[in-house]
Chains A and B, each alone.
Chain A
Amino acid sequence: MRALITSVYVFLYAPIALVVLFSFNAGRNASEFTGFSAQWYGKALANPFLVTALQNSLIIALVSATLAAVFGTMAALGLERLGARTRAIFDGLLAAAIVVPGVVIGIATLVALVAVFGAINPAIAALWPGDRPPQLGLGYGSIIAAHGLFTMALVTMIVKARIATLGRDIVEASADLYATPFTTFRDIVLPQILPSVLSGFLLAFTFSFDDFIVAFFVAGSKTTLPIYVFASIRRGVTPEVNAIATMVLVASLLLILISRLLMRDKTQKSPAGE
């Protein structure tokens, strides 16, 4: 049994470790470690396309995760107050946002936005007084919208699960002591759900930062980090790609670590984080 478990952990971590190891390889050879060097990191970071892609990814992840955390938390709080039927419809839509494959979300968003832009852009052009009318197109906005859909649903699920474990009695006690609903929310509910909100935010950020397939469809001419990595992989496996891959890995590892520390505070019993 022990041997089996050990091999599962080796299976999970050895491939990643190999990529990290060879990102420090001095030589170009992918199967022979010829010496330690950080040169590939320098090469990667000196590449302006990579830096732009990284910036794009950070902006998109930050905005979509913030929107997801705020709107998702609001939705989780609002759902509590709904009647059973409306709530079921809402729950169904949220589940759909999570279950529908990313590839379909990407396509549906692309198709809808192209149709909408096709209708609006000529109208703008007709009404615009100057020579160069602004045209709506794919880019930051479309990626944020598509990422926000999934991550908002994710945050709602996480915060909803946390709210379900809250003691009703403490909320009622607060009301009995003449606290206004807002005061009760600020002093009683918010402090208790805050860790799950933050953890939801970080998971949303991680998802957006790592997502390839949704962005692939709706990015337009923008390049995100995963799109850049994907394109480099198709050009060939090089130590530089290993270095970029390692940096992506370290970034998401840090985020997930912080997220799990936050979750552990309040929800000792569910290490699944789901």
Chain B
Amino acid sequence: MALTMTAKRRLVTTALLAPASVWLFVFLVLPFIAMVIFSVGERGPAGGYQAAFTFAQYANLPARAAAYWNTLLLAPVGAFFCLVVAYPTAYYLAVKASPRHRLLLVSLVVVPFWTSLLVRTYAWMYILGSRGIPNLLDMIGIADVRLLNTPGAVLLGIVYGYLPLMIMPIYVSLEKLDRRLLEASADLGAKPVSTFFSVTLPLSLPGVMTGVALVTILLLGEYLIPQLLGGGKVFFIGNALVDLFLQSRNWPFGSAIAVTLVAIVVVVLMVAMRIAWRISGTRQVDLI
């Protein structure tokens, strides 16, 4: 054999990583470069793209200010509402639930997340739509209630869609918590409330941080929920992108918006990781 052990080892490593590298390069890195190139281009006469080098698309971004405003407001607010519902749920699952039922209860929380978001959002369209709750209210004499196509409906859809994703990391951080700390706190005379605020809550903050970051980041790119429950009135960046690419066919402008969306996601991610480092005191943070 001409190959030495190290050469052979290196060959195997390369072979193992080759398909994934090619895939990541061809379908992630290259498309991203293409998108950046498109974003400094011009709109062709019949839509689509025409080669150019101009920052006109970026200068035009304020034209879609409403989409940015809605996204940057409703994504964190939605994540916050998720957190408000998720924390007590996670706390119950990790601390209060009987070990016998815990796994089943946790599974029941996770399962919806892996079913179609489209169908789950549709369910709320069904409930909030004119033949759902408003129809029932009409029967008892409260007429003309409109629930669908409001910011409230979008927020409800957000909480519904992303609650499982918020519960899980908080549950995991609470579950890892050493019970002896709670007992020690109680033995030292702390009331349950002060034990919660001085022991449990600080130790679960990394999980909270992970959940808030994950949900916020996914919400920044959300399309379906505002589309179906906001009915074109509550417009996110994702909705603007679909409009620009598939309806009005202004690809360069759409590309510029997509580039800014990635930039926003990166900034949010970096801020989240910075905060997470500060909370946990280590650089061992798994946000994903």
**A interface with B by C-beta (< 8 Å):** 1, 4-5, 8-9, 11-13, 15-16, 18-19, 22, 29-31, 70-72, 74-75, 77-79, 81-82, 90, 93-105, 107-115, 145-146, 148-149, 152, 156-157, 181, 203, 206, 210, 212-213, 216-217, 226, 229-230, 233, 237, 241-242, 245, 248-249, 252-253, 255-257, 259-260, 264, 270-274
Given contacts A15-B120, A16-B112, contact A103 B13 (CB under 8 A): no
Q: Which residues of A contact B115 (CB under 8 A)?
A: 16, 210, 248-249, 252-253, 256
Chain B residues 159 to 201 lying within 8 A of chain A, measured CB to CB, are: 160, 163-164, 168-169, 171-172
Q: Check A145 against B126 for contact (C-beta < 8 Å).
A: no
CA of A252 to CA of B120 in the docked complex: distance in angstroms? 12
- How many residue pairs link A and B with beta carbons under 8 A? The number is 249
Q: Check B17 against A96 for contact (C-beta < 8 Å).
A: no
Q: Check B246 against A271 for contact (C-beta < 8 Å).
A: no
Q: Find B246's partner among A149, A217, A255, A259 (CB 8 Å cutoff).
A: A217
Q: Check A11 against B160 for contact (C-beta < 8 Å).
A: yes
Q: Which residues of B contact A8 (CB under 8 A)?
A: 85, 89, 163
Smallest CB–CB gap between B62 and chain A, Å? 21
Smallest CB–CB gap between B271 and chain A, Å? 14
Smallest CB-CB A-B distances: 10 pairs? A101-B221, A78-B16, A108-B31, A15-B123, A75-B20, A112-B31, A78-B17, A30-B131, A112-B34, A71-B19
CA of A181 to CA of B132 in the docked complex: distance in angstroms? 62
Q: Which residue of A lies closest to B111 (CB)?
A: A256
Smallest CB–CB gap between A259 and chain B, Å? 8
CA of A170 to CA of B217 in the docked complex: distance in angstroms? 40
Q: Which residues of A contact B168 (CB under 8 A)?
A: 272, 274
Q: Check B88 against A1 for contact (C-beta < 8 Å).
A: yes
Smallest CB–CB gap between A217 and chain B, Å? 7
Smallest CB–CB gap between A130 and chain B, Å? 28
Q: Which residue of A lies closest to B239 (CB)?
A: A103
Smallest CB–CB gap between A61 and chain B, Å? 12
B251 at interface (Cβ–Cβ under 8 A)?
yes
**B interface with A by C-beta (< 8 Å):** 9, 12-17, 19-21, 23-24, 26-32, 34-35, 38, 48-49, 85, 88-89, 92, 96, 103, 106-112, 114-120, 122-127, 129, 131-132, 135-136, 160, 163-164, 168-169, 171-172, 217-218, 220-224, 228, 237-238, 241-242, 245-246, 251, 254-255, 258, 261-262, 265, 269, 288
Q: Check B117 against A112 for contact (C-beta < 8 Å).
A: no
Q: Which residues of A contact B123 (CB under 8 A)?
A: 15-16, 18-19, 245
Q: Check A16 against B120 for contact (C-beta < 8 Å).
A: yes
Q: Find B28's partner among A149, A181, A212, A248 (CB 8 Å cutoff).
A: A149
Q: Which residues of A contact B26 (CB under 8 A)?
A: 145
Q: Check B221 against A82 for contact (C-beta < 8 Å).
A: no
Q: Check B34 against A111 for contact (C-beta < 8 Å).
A: yes
Q: Which residues of B contact A257 (CB under 8 A)?
A: 111
Q: Check A97 against B116 for contact (C-beta < 8 Å).
A: no
Q: Check A108 against B17 for contact (C-beta < 8 Å).
A: no
CA of A145 to CA of B24 in the docked complex: distance in angstroms? 10
Q: Find B251's partner among A109, A111, A146, A206 (CB 8 Å cutoff).
A: A111
Q: Which residues of A contact B237 (CB under 8 A)?
A: 103
CA of A99 to CA of B266 in the docked complex: distance in angstroms? 9
Q: Which residue of A lies closest to B8 (CB)?
A: A181
Smallest CB–CB gap between B101 and chain A, Å? 11
Q: Which residues of A contact B89 (CB under 8 A)?
A: 4-5, 8
Q: Check A100 against B265 for contact (C-beta < 8 Å).
A: yes
Smallest CB–CB gap between B217 and chain A, Å? 6
Q: Which residue of A lies closest to B109 (CB)?
A: A12
CA of A109 to CA of B23 in the docked complex: distance in angstroms? 12
CA of A113 to CA of B218 in the docked complex: distance in angstroms? 25
Smallest CB–CB gap between B258 and chain A, Å? 5
CA of A74 to CA of B221 in the docked complex: distance in angstroms? 30
Smallest CB–CB gap between B153 and chain A, Å? 13
Smallest CB–CB gap between B270 and chain A, Å? 11
Q: Which residue of A lies closest to B97 (CB)?
A: A5
Q: Which residues of A contact B238 (CB under 8 A)?
A: 101, 103, 213
Q: Check A230 against B118 for contact (C-beta < 8 Å).
A: yes
